[in-house]
Amino acid sequence: MSSEAQSTKHSARQQNRVVFLMYHELEIPGRALCHSEAGYSRYVVKETQFRSQIHWLQEVGWHGLSAGDALAFALRNDCEPSSVAVTFDDGCESDLISAAPILKEAGCNATFYITVRFLGQRGHMKQTQLRELAALGFEIGCHSMTHAYLTDLDDRGLQREISEAKAELEEIIGKQVEHFSCPGGRCDARVIQVARHAGYRSVANSRVRQNGPATDSFDLGRIAILRGTELQAFQEICRAEGLWKIQAGNRLRGAAKQVLGNSLYDRGRAFLLR
Ligand SMILES: [Zn+2]
C-alpha cells in the first residue's frame, strides 16, 4: 500500500471515532453559580471560554453532534467529516441562556442530560425552559431523578433514578428520551441492565476515551471539559491526543474512590479543595 493510501486509511479510521465532550454549568458574568464549592466550580467553564472552544470547532469545520447524531452517523459511517459530540449534564439554566445560543450560531447540535428533580431549583432550568431548549432542536437526555450515585442504590432506587426519571422527562417535553448519562460517572452492569430495560439507546459515563463503531453504546466514554482546560488542551481532546494523561489522573482518583467509598471520597475531596 502506498504511503498516501495508508495515510488516507489512517485518517478515515480517525474520522470514524468521536470524542464526546462533557460540560456542566457555564459561568455567565455577573451571575452566581448553582453551587460555590471548589469541587463544583472545577467543572464550570466560563462562557467566554466555551465560546472560543465552539468557535474553534466552527473554524476548523468540525461538526458538533448530539449523542443520538453521533451514534447514528459518525460512529457508523467512514465518510463523515471530523466531529465531536457535545454533551451537558445536570440541566443548569446556562444550558438555555448561554450554551444554546452559542451552539446555534455555530450550527452545532448537543445533548443536554437533565436531572429531573433539579428542574425549578436555583440556577437550574424550569420546566418551561426545558421545553424551550427541546423546541430549539437540541436533544434532551436523562441524568437521573435526583443525581444519586447509581452504584450505591438497590433495585427500587435504580428504577426511580433511571426508568421513572425517563417517563417524567418525556411527559414534560412531549418527546422520547433515549439517552442517559450517569451522575458522577458511576456506572455498573446493573445500571446498564435497568437502562436497557427502560428503553434507552445509550448510556454515557465519564471514562476517558473516544468512541467508535466497536464501542458499546451503553458504555460511551466522555471527557470532562474543565474550568482549567486551555484552548490548546481542548483542541487536543477533540483530536483525542494525549488522553492517557487525563486517564492517568482519573485512575488515581478512581483508586481513591474504590478505597474510600463514594461518600468518604466526596468529603475528602471537599476537604482537599477547600
Ligand atoms: Zn451531574
Domain ranges of the chain: 3-241, 242-274
Amino acid identity of residue 62, one-letter, is: W
Q: Which fold has domain 3-241?
A: TIM Barrel (3.20.20)
Handedness of CA 82, 247, 45, 135 (dihedral sign): positive
CA 144 – ligand 1 centroid, Å: 9
88: β partners: 23, 112
CA 8 – ligand 1 centroid, Å: 39
CA neighbor of 160 nearest in space, from 183, 192, 194: 194
Percent of the chain exceeding pLDDT 90 equals 75
- Is residue 191's pLDDT more than 90? yes
Cell reading at 226: 474543565
pLDDT at 247: 86
Residue 209 half-sphere exposure toward CB, CA atoms < 13 A: 12
CA 184 – ligand 1 centroid, Å: 6
CA 3 – ligand 1 centroid, Å: 45
Q: Which residue has the higher pLDDT, 258 or 69?
A: 69
Q: Which residue has the higher pLDDT, 214 or 142?
A: 142
Cβ(143)–Cβ(158) under 8 Å? Answer: no
pLDDT at 6: 42
65-74, 110-119, 206-215, 241-250 — which one is most confidently predicted on average?
110-119
CA 89 – ligand 1 centroid, Å: 5
- Range of weakest confidence among 52-61, 92-101, 262-271: 262-271
CA 1 – ligand 1 centroid, Å: 47
CA 239 – ligand 1 centroid, Å: 25
CA 148 – ligand 1 centroid, Å: 9
pLDDT at 11: 44
- Is residue 59's pLDDT more than 80? yes
* pLDDT one-digit tens code per residue, 198-233: 999 999 999 999 998 889 999 999 999 999 999 999
CA 156 – ligand 1 centroid, Å: 21
